[in-house]
Amino acid sequence: MNPHTAPAALAVNGTHSLIGDRLHRLGANIILDEQVSWCPQGVRVTQPVNCYLIKGSAGSVLVDTGIRLHEAEIIRQLESLLDPGERLDVVLTRTEMECCLNLPAIEARFDVESVWYTGGITVPRTSATPRRIMVNPGTSLEVEVMDGLILEFVSPLMRLLPTLWIFDPVSKALLTSDAFTHGSYGSSKAAAGLHKFQWFAEADTRGIARDVEEAIRERHVKAIGPGYGEPFVGPAESAAEATALAEAIRKVGIQ
């Protein structure tokens, strides 16, 4: 199945149901060209910048907060998905700008109790409880983010700064931050998603590639949700994209 035709039904206010009522994709599109830091040379396409809402019985968890350009859209999308007074926790996959800049606006509108993040960079000023968590690269940790909502925080080897991939064991979706971002480039374009990982050219990348493949295979992933780019939906599609990305990582590195 082509990622552009994956069954992510359009809901109200531009939100997409990625996995039933459990997992929703929020955000909006940008024009991706060489003014954007992660864009390969010579590319100009429309690309979604995503954050994700995981619905639980005691509240919801927002994974990343989107870019400032999309602040109003994301607030409207959250209003359409959250009940009045519903508890909201935030998990940041990275403390880079495309992940965290809408945190103050979201806190001003919703009942945000905690903000989970990794690394040493200060997140935007928050009145919620900050929960800094460290997960060793190449390992993972199960975290009960709120009552009854357990997520696996995966620390990938495919990274620049400290990074978390978030696996939801209920939906079997893996939210991959700045990895698997090549869905906007069409088929067989996994290498295009490696533009920001230029250090790979100076590294033996075989372990990184293996870690990517194992992250998908061992969890029987049913959907891959990147921070930017079209998601991949379906077990077969997820496995195929992991294989393609791993092969691109091997090719770019020192053997």
Residue 9: which pLDDT band, with cuts at 50, 70 and 90? very low
Would you place residue 2 in the very low, low, confident or very high pLDDT band (cuts 50, 70, 90)? very low
Q: What is the CATH number of domain 8-133+140-252?
A: 3.60.15.10
135 CB-near residues (< 8 Å, 6+ apart): 118, 141, 153, 154, 155, 164
Quickly tell me which residue has 């091997």 as its tokens: 250
Edge-to-edge strand ranges of the sheet holding 16-19: 9-10, 16-19, 23-32, 45-55, 60-63, 87-91, 111-117, 129-132
User: Which pLDDT belongs to residue 123?
Assistant: 66
Residue 4 has pLDDT above 80, yes or no: no
Predicted confidence (pLDDT) per residue in 38-51, tens digit: 888 888 999 999 99
Which of 89, 90, 23, 45 is CA-nearest to residue 228?
45
pLDDT (0 to 100) of residue 187: 58
**CB 93 within 8 Å of CB 177:** yes
Asked whether residue 186 carries a pLDDT value surpassing 80, the answer given is no
Query: Is 3 within 8 Å of 183 (Cβ atoms)?
Result: yes
pLDDT tens-place string over residues 220-255: 999 999 999 999 999 999 999 999 999 999 999 987
Q: What are the residue ranges spanned by the domains of the chain?
A: 8-133+140-252
pLDDT average, residue stretch 87-114: 94
